[in-house]
Amino acid sequence: MRAFPKGFLWGGATAANQCEGGYQEGGRGLANVDFIPSGEQRFAVASGQLDVKQLSNQEHFPGRYAIDMYHHYKEDIALFAEMGFQVYRFSISWSRIYPQGDEDKPNEAGLRFYEEVIDTCLSYGIEPLVTINHFDVPLHLIEAYGAWRNRKMVTFYLRLCETLFTRFKGKVHYWLTFNEINMILHLPYMAAGLTFKADENKTQVCYQAAHHELLASAKAVSLAHHIDPNNQIGCMLAAGNIYPYSCRPEDVMEGLQKDRENYYFTDVQARGYYPSYAKKFFEREHIQLQMEEDDEAILKAGCIDFVSFSYYNSGVASADPKLKAAAKGNVFPSIENPYLPSSEWGWQIDPLGLRITLNTLYDRYQKPLFIVENGLGAKDNFVNGYVEDDARIAYLREHIKAMKDAILLDGVDLLGYTTWGCIDLISASTGEMRKRYGFIYVDADEDGKGTLNRYKKKSFYWYQKVIKSNGEDL
Ligand code: BG6
């Protein structure tokens, strides 16, 4: 089998709120992600249906401790280097740098922490790929300003960006502005710190907040280029094409509409203006975006350099009201695809869907792509310090084959691949530790119990071989 192009970046990805822990160390301030409990209330809180103030003090907040990467990053990055990583994607905890979010000066201890993470990566020749914002919002910005519903957030976010771009100039070349920016419509508290009043139009609030994020993203692109022309900035979409349930034209139209709910964001970030279908959608839904005079120029000037995305599964849509009502899924409701198997958590497994998604995004934007999340969340059978995770290997192998086809057969320009949760971490949707994605097993559960020791799984050695052969030996 032919190998991947020279310079293709292989690696893995994590997010601060799911792996760092150390939530009150180094001067870090509190954030929304510290108040999202595990268990039954998690979705209600994450989706903004339940105010964190209504939670009992019996709740457990797994993000506060996670796998304690705050203290283990040297050991963890050494393991990534042993696997041969050429890139490591991680995110910045905003409240480590600006504990309240609206200060004039950053917290030096927080900056030093990330500097050490970056320097450790560079010492192994690993390129850092930094997500500026992966769901965190400092608590103070939520309480004092209403988080992203407030336009002032653009200023605070830009201050964070300027601090990062300046401090890490020459060390970091790849940046992502917002993780899964489309998640704001589904998990508005978890993804953007939004809470709602009982009588308010939530859709209006979400799209207004999204407009502020899109402005902030565009300004960040311009700023990054200004500070260092070598910076490459990407958007990040929770992707996965929506298939029509049948070839009935109504189903095809429904699939197209569902896809647009996601492309809405990247259309603005990659093309620099709101698409016409979005304007019509706003008219129909009586949504009025408050925009200022130079907003259109800001969006136009701040088009991203590459399109990054997460891919776990495809989806299915139908115009049939009965099937529509049967759609399920913890974040993105979808009709079950009868042709595909599912993971233990009901996420459907569709490697060819990755090739389809890559082609769709490349056709749509004609910009380089980067797969920054993909993987199988599964229970591990940990025996004598080892995990034989053949199902994970099989999942990744098939997805890598699909992306290879997209590059070699379809001509898609793909910069790299970072698997999700390269080391086990807390699940975003469920808060569980037993939903594991890693090549490295961490002895921890979501209640904070465990030695926190790290163990190499079978997939660790498999991925090492994949990277060494540049994707030839799968
Ligand atoms: C993406 C997020 O939605 O999917 C990650 O960017 C998340 O934060 C990942 O962890 C996998 O989802 P989950 O719910 O299995 O952790």
Nearest CA to ligand 1 atom 14: 429
Q: How far apart are CA 363 and CA 350, in angstroms?
A: 20
Burial tier of 339 (Cβ tally within 10 Å: 0-12, 13-18, 19+): exposed
Q: Is 176 in the pocket of ligand 1 (CB under 6 A)?
A: no
Q: How far apart are CA 237 and CA 261, in angstroms?
A: 11
Q: How far apart are CA 400 and CA 7, in angstroms?
A: 16
Structure tokens at 224: 């990054």
- Ligand 1 atom closest to 427 (CA): 16
Contact 23, 450 (CB under 8 A): no
Q: Is 314 in the pocket of ligand 1 (CB under 6 A)?
A: no
Beta strands in 421-469 (DSSP E): 440-442, 454-456
Q: Which of 310, 313, 418 to mutate to test the pocket of ligand 1 (most atoms within 8 A of CB)?
A: 310
Q: Which of 20, 91, 177, 373 to mutate to test the pocket of ligand 1 (most atoms within 8 A of CB)?
A: 373
Q: Is 377 in the pocket of ligand 1 (CB under 6 A)?
A: yes
3-state secondary structure of 87: strand
Per-residue pLDDT in tens (0 to 9) along the chain, 474 residues:
578 999 999 999 999 999 999 999 999 999 999 999 999 899 999 999 999 988 887 789 999 999 999 999 999 999 999 999 999 999 999 999 999 999 999 999 999 999 999 999 999 999 999 999 999 999 999 999 999 999 999 999 999 999 999 999 999 999 999 999 999 999 999 999 999 998 999 999 999 999 999 999 999 999 999 999 999 999 999 999 999 999 999 999 999 999 999 999 999 999 999 999 999 999 999 999 999 999 999 999 999 999 999 999 999 999 999 998 888 776 788 999 999 999 999 999 999 999 999 999 999 999 999 999 999 999 999 999 999 999 999 999 999 999 999 999 999 999 999 999 999 999 999 999 999 999 999 999 878 789 999 999 999 999 999 999 999 999
Structure tokens at 461: 């050695």
Q: How far apart are CA 464 and CA 424, in angstroms?
A: 17
CATH of 9-468 among 3.40.190.10, 2.40.10.10, 3.30.70.141, 3.20.20.80: 3.20.20.80
Structure tokens at 116: 């050490």
Q: How many residues does the chain have?
A: 474
Report the DSSP beta bridge partners of residue 373: 310
- b/e for 102-114, b at 16 or more Cβ within 10 A? eeeebbeebbebb
Contact 85, 125 (CB under 8 A): no
ipTM of model: 0.99
